[in-house]
Structure 1
Amino acid sequence: MYPSGLAYRPGEKAEAEQQVRTSKGTFLGGDSSPALRWLEDKIAAVTLLPRTNGEFWNVLNYKHSQHYDSHMDSFDPKEYGPQYSQRIATVIVVLSDDGLMGGETVFKREGKSSINKPISNWTDCDADGGLKYKPRAGDAVLFWSARPDGQLDPHALHGSCPVVTGNKWVAVKWLRNKGEYDHDKP
């Protein structure tokens, strides 16, 4: 496990002490265990996307006060440049919720009238309203970052609220519109 990283826009420099994403994590390939392969097959059946469109699993651990500010999983070409393969969906699998308080996933722009709502605080999970999902072990949450026409969906803005007590363990799978992309590039 190592400190979770961020995707930077062209010209941005990585900050060693960034406080946007404070969890620790690691990556696992879907073929590293029968359970992950089974789960990837289930995701493919639900999304109708082939397994090869998925990135490696990002297994994450959030401890006391660790969080991830609200963000998009997709890469807006206006900010990140042209994308060969775009992240169009995310699956979050909750691995453990033992003694967990806090750690919700917040969707600040969820709801019909919230699509263009200005965000006043990207870190505070109680600011700006929205929908909060309380993690429960065994749950899987699927949300789409792009609409069927390929346009990015502002409703997908989400973040991980700070953990108050306990540990939050999740496995995240990002799905792209094209498979066989370069895992080292957005």
Structure 2
Amino acid sequence: MATPKSKSPRSGLSPVLALALVIVAFFAGRFITLPGELPVPSNGPTVVGDDLPAAPVERRSALETAAEGAVNAAAQAEVASPEALLLAEAATYETAEAALEATGFLADRPPQGHGETGHSFYTVQPMQQLSLHPRAYLMPRFLTQGQCDHVIAMATKRLAPSGLAFKAGDTAENTRDIRTSSGTFMSRHEDPDGVLAFIEDKIAMVTMVPVGHGEPFNVLRYELNQHYDSHYDSFSEEEYGPQTSQRIATVLLYLADVEDGGETVFLLEGKDGLARLATIDYKACDTGIKVKPRQGDALLFWSTAVNGTVDKHSLHGGCPVVAGTKWAMTKWIRNTCFGRMC
């Protein structure tokens, strides 16, 4: 017979105070973000680096306001959910950078000394792990609305039907309906306002892969019913022959909200997802996981496994647009450096 456990002594922490502390911790984890000294375009975020204040800001911070609201609600026995409080507070900031500056969260943790290629500022981006098979992560509010609009304005002037990398047996005729979007390639050197440079540098910091490993940006527009059948971004030697350079990761940046459709789908997601490979419908959007486009969000996924081999779980596609227009920008990252940034 199990011995009954003795009752723990009653804690001196009141339920109201405990709830307030939980809410403060919840907000603090979400507002650790990306301050820095990136090239800041006129429509970019305000970032914080060496000039972090020596003490927390004197004005009431978002954390203090949220905590007091939680205590008051608990005292009245009308406690709002942490999720509701978070959404209400986060809506007051356009970017995570702005939230960090307003709260002074790292005011008592100034950056330390760094090496020749290091930075004198912190880099942390809110990130949701979507999957480990493939490795896929959502980074909310990665870009501002102004940055998204700037990229769309640049790309609109030069769109053309999107192309494909042909493998053995492919022709323009038999691949006609695989990718139906319009697109263009753009590099940081074409943007005197520095917006593309800012985005590229930010991608390099969150992926920890130098800028020189990234291909030029590919900006895409999907209109009604346009789509991209599921495919791999990496190039297997069985289909494309020996490769001197391989795509290892993709960052997909959503430049506009889509009214309906246009999701990014991973049909083989899951530890056992490859069991579906033999019977997969490459046009399907009803298996695995789907990521809904939201303006400013970024989707990072790895096309290769940790050992460098192609990860078959990374099969992905763009679902048809049902209503509205989808704008996205792709940054493919390789395992070797090339081009002007090397």
For residues 50 and 158 of structure 1, the distance between their equivalents in structure 2, rounded to whole angstroms, comes to 25
Give the secondary-structure state (helix, strand or coil) at the position aligned to 1:25.
strand
Give the secondary-structure state (helix, strand or coil) at the position aligned to 1:91.
strand
Aligned pair partner of 1:54 in 214, 219, 242: 214
Give the drift of 1:117: 2.0
Counterpart AA for 2:251: V
Structure whose residues are more often strand by fraction: 1
For residues 321 and 295 of structure 2, the distance between their equivalents in structure 1, rounded to whole angstroms, comes to 15
Alignment-derived partner of residue 182 in structure 2 = 24
Alignment-derived partner of residue 155 in structure 1 = 313
Alignment-derived partner of residue 98 in structure 2 = none
1:107-136 deviation digits (Å, cap 9, x = unpaired): 00111111342243111212xx10000010
For residues 295 and 326 of structure 2, the distance between their equivalents in structure 1, rounded to whole angstroms, comes to 9
1:69-101 deviation digits (Å, cap 9, x = unpaired): 00000000111001111001000000011x520
Alignment-derived partner of residue 113 in structure 1 = 272
For residues 21 and 101 of structure 1, the distance between their equivalents in structure 2, rounded to whole angstroms, comes to 19
For residues 45 and 96 of structure 1, the distance between their equivalents in structure 2, rounded to whole angstroms, comes to 23
Give the secondary-structure state (helix, strand or coil) at the position aligned to 1:78.
helix
RMSD between superposed Cα atoms in Å: 1.5
Structure whose residues are more often helix by fraction: 2
Alignment-derived partner of residue 236 in structure 2 = 76
Aligned 8 A contact 1:116 1:154 in 2: no
Give the drift of 1:180: 1.1
Alignment-derived partner of residue 199 in structure 2 = 39
For residues 322 and 219 of structure 2, the distance between their equivalents in structure 1, rounded to whole angstroms, comes to 20
Aligned pair partner of 1:103 in 259, 262, 265: 262
Query: Is 41-50 or 135-144 further displaced after alignment?
Result: 41-50
1:55-75 deviation digits (Å, cap 9, x = unpaired): 110000000000000000000
Counterpart AA for 1:177: N
Counterpart AA for 1:87: R
Identity of aligned residues (%): 52
For residues 156 and 124 of structure 1, the distance between their equivalents in structure 2, rounded to whole angstroms, comes to 15
Alignment-derived partner of residue 184 in structure 1 = none
Give the secondary-structure state (helix, strand or coil) at the position aligned to 2:331.
strand
For residues 117 and 44 of structure 1, the distance between their equivalents in structure 2, rounded to whole angstroms, comes to 34
Alignment-derived partner of residue 293 in structure 2 = 135
- Residue 89 in structure 1 maps to residue 249 in structure 2: yes
Q: What is the TM-score with the length of structure 1 in the denominator? A: 0.90
Aligned pair partner of 1:5 in 147, 163, 171: 163
The number of aligned residues is 178
Give the drift of 1:23: 0.3
For residues 314 and 247 of structure 2, the distance between their equivalents in structure 1, rounded to whole angstroms, comes to 11
Please tell me whether Structure 1 or Structure 2 has the larger radius of gyration of its CA atoms. 2
1:28-78 deviation digits (Å, cap 9, x = unpaired): 012323111111111111112111111110000000000000000000011
Q: 1:156 to 1:17 in 2, by over 3 A?
A: closer
Give the secondary-structure state (helix, strand or coil) at the position aligned to 2:255.
strand
**Structure with larger RCO (C-alpha < 8 A, sep 6+):** 1
Aligned pair partner of 1:172 in 315, 323, 330: 330
For residues 147 and 157 of structure 1, the distance between their equivalents in structure 2, rounded to whole angstroms, comes to 13
Q: 1:11 to 1:117 in 2, by over 3 A?
A: closer
